């Protein structure tokens, strides 16, 4: 099963015998609060217009736990996550399609969580809401309660120690912008740089200018050049486990399984005992 779906395919699926549950996960990271601009309000964007039938899911409140020592977007409480998904109408036997405002990061976070907790059929709308050419609605649906019961998987998840080990034994990709990887700038976390041994692989290089993923063969070639081939074990991290989920999704499109270090740099850099590498050299 492909991990992404086009807008035209979504139209067809919605008209089919087993239409998917639609989740709207519009979210945006803002680091320029000092400029005084209002923070992004995903719920307001949803209220102004969404794909008919879509249910809004707040990333910060439903797809992550409270910010702290485990990072800015640690794993949510599994029981609370399951309850939120059931309220959104998610059932084990019903496909789920997730979309956001086009960047793809938030939708990928929801995709990753649902897959990691055992849902068998989750896809991301490629290109997000901007790719949708159908009508929008402002009516807030009231879906029937779903029956999804999350069962976290043993694979696909890294902690700090696991990420450090994988950087030595396999391939650990840093999905942040190159200047953050090199430690030239760090707008959010305590210190700049990267996990020693990690390779710079900005998630922005996974998509075309319109926000859609590059073809699978191009993604596979990109990741192969980074060492993610020949059965190498692959992991990904970012700033707080959101854009990294997008890289895991890109790897899935390329046919390459990968684990996510959810705590990511926001957790790693919070501990002054953990080593930090700077510059273009992985080490």
Point out the residues that are catalytic.
238
Q: Measuring CA to CA, which residue among 266, 254, 10, 268 is closest to residue 132? A: 10
Buried b (16+ CB within 10 A) or exposed e, 174-195: bbbbeebbbbeebeebeebbbb
Distance CA 195, CA 103 (A): 25
Distance CA 27, CA 273 (A): 32
DSSP label at residue 33: G
Q: Which residues contact 216 (CB under 8 A, 6 or more apart)?
A: 253, 254, 255
What is the sign, positive or negative, of the torsion defined by CA atoms of 217, 236, 205, 203? positive
Helix (H) or strand (E) holding 245: helix 243-253
DSSP label at residue 203: G
**Residue corresponding to tokens 């035209």:** 8
Task: Please give the structure tokens belonging to residue 178.
Answer: 């190159």
Contact 128, 27 (CB under 8 A): no
């Amino acid at each position: 099963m492909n991990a992404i779906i086009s807008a035209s395919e979504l139209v067809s699926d919605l008209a089919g015998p087993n239409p998917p549950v639609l989740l709207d996960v519009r979210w945006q990271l803002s680091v320029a609060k000092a400029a005084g601009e209002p923070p992004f309000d995903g719920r307001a964007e949803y209220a102004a217009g969404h794909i008919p039938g879509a249910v809004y899911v707040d990333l910060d409140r439903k797809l992550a736990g409270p910010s702290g020592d485990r990072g800015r977007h640690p794993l949510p409480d599994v029981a609370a996550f399951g309850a939120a998904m059931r309220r959104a109408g998610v059932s084990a036997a019903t496909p789920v399609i997730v979309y956001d405002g086009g960047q793809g990061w938030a939708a990928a976070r929801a995709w990753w969580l649902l897959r990691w907790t055992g849902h068998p059929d989750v896809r991301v709308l490629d290109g997000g809401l901007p790719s949708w050419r159908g009508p929008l609605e402002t009516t807030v649906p009231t879906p029937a309660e779903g029956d999804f019961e999350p069962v976290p998987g043993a694979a696909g998840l890294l902690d700090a120690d696991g990420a450090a080990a994988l950087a030595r034994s396999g391939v650990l990709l840093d999905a942040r912008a190159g200047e953050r990887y090199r430690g030239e700038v760090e707008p959010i976390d305590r210190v700049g740089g990267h996990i020693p041994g990690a390779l710079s692989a900005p998630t922005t290089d996974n998509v075309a200018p319109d926000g859609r993923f590059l073809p699978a063969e191009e993604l596979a070639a990109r990741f192969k050049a980074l060492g993610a081939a020949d059965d190498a074990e692959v992991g990904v991290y970012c700033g707080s486990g959101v854009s990294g989920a997008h890289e895991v999704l890109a790897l899935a499109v390329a046919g390459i399984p990968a684990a996510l270090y959810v705590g990511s740099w926001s957790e790693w850099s919070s501990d002054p005992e953990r080593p930090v590498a700077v510059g273009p050299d992985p080490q």
